[in-house]
Structure 1
Amino acid sequence: MNEKPKRNIPRWLPMLLLALLGTLGGFLWYRSVGCTTGNCVISSNPLLSTFYGGAIGALLGYVFTPAKSK
């Protein structure tokens, strides 16, 4: 009778966590790889690199988001 209640993890949590991890990865990509010539559209700008990293992370997070239960 003393069962622990199940923790209900919000459905958006995996997407948020992977988006944050992606933004960090995008910024680290800019800092470590970057673009020395300035001709690289994404990796020459820290904002674009961070944004695209976050977008890729959010898309991956969407894949791992649990389905809605009935």
Structure 2
Amino acid sequence: MKKWLNSNKLYLIGSLVGAIGGYIYWQQVGCVSGTCAITSKPLNSTLYGSMMGALVFGMFKKEDKKESNQA
């Protein structure tokens, strides 16, 4: 469990930062008409932000040489 947590730390941090950002975006900007797919509900906006944050922070993860040479 500790090894998994250490190897995925950037994804978890990015997910948390993105979720907070998504919620703040819904709160501040949102969708007046209610027809926007992502920003009409706080849950949608938070989940989308979480996913985007994990993807963006994951770009900065360094690969181990042992893992990349096995492929």
Within the alignment, does 1:24 sit opposite 2:11 as a pair?
A: no
Runs of 4+ in 1 over 3 A off after TM superposition: none
- Structure showing the higher helix proportion among its residues: 2
Match of residue 47 from structure 1: 43
The alignment covers a number of residue pairs equal to 62
Within the alignment, does 1:68 sit opposite 2:64 as a pair?
A: yes
Identical aligned pairs, as a percentage? Answer: 37
The structure with the largest alpha-carbon Rg is 1
Q: TM-score, normalised by structure 1?
A: 0.80
Q: TM-score, normalised by structure 2?
A: 0.79
In 2, are the aligned partners of 1:15 and 1:64 still within 8 Å (CA)?
Answer: no
Q: CA RMSD in A?
A: 1.5
TM-fit CA distance, 1:14: 1.0
Q: Which runs of 5+ in 2 are unaligned?
A: 67-71
